[in-house]
Structure formats: structure tokens, C-alpha cells
Amino acid sequence: METWPGSAYPLGATFDGSGTNFALFSEVAARIELCLFDDDGVETRVEFFEIDAYVWHAYLPQVQPGQRYGYRVYGDYDPKSGTRCNPNKLLLDPYAKATCG
């Protein structure tokens, strides 16, 4: 899937008329994957490689409004220190304007 660097702002998923920019803040992530779902529930994962001031971001020119998605965050799992990264859990976008399912 074609991926461009995108922008760290605004946070969340932002459609610009051509494609969608995704931006997610995390101070503790070691890796983040954007998970896109088709109408049959098939998951396609896109790894984020761009990070600015703890904001992970990517621009996907083919993603249109209505795309179902979530995030998988890799990193430390240590509840005592407040970190709970677990890529086995699909996370909602905390900046999403709507959810479904």
C-alpha cells in the first residue's frame, strides 16, 4: 500500500480531498501500525515510520472517508510504570470523530 510521510498535525485521521493523513501521539511506543479493515473484516497493516515530537504519522493517498481502522502499539508493557503497550489489542483512535461496530 502506498504510504507517504504525512504530517504530525492535526491529530487523528484527516481527509484532504485526495487521501488521508493519520497522526497519533505516543511518548512510549516503539512501533505503531495502522490497521485498515475492508468490508469483509480483512486487516491490512501499515507501519508508521515518521515521528515528530512523539507524534507518529503517515499519509495514505488511497484512503477515503468511511475507512474502518485502528492502531496496534508496540512497546513496553509495565502497568506499574503506566505503560500498557500491547500489539495484540486493536486500539481506537482517541481523536476519531466517529466509531462503528
Residues 6+ away with beta carbon under 8 Å from 15? 63, 64, 65
Question: How is 6-17 classified by DSSP, letter by letter?
Answer: --S-SSEEEE-S
Query: What pTM did the predictor assign?
Result: 0.96
Domain boundaries along the sequence of the chain: 12-84
Beta bridge partners of residue 37, listed in sequence order: 43, 68
- May I ask the CATH class of domain 12-84? mainly beta
pLDDT digits (tens, 9 = 90+) for 35-76: 999 999 999 999 999 999 999 999 999 999 999 999 999 999
The pLDDT of residue 54:
98
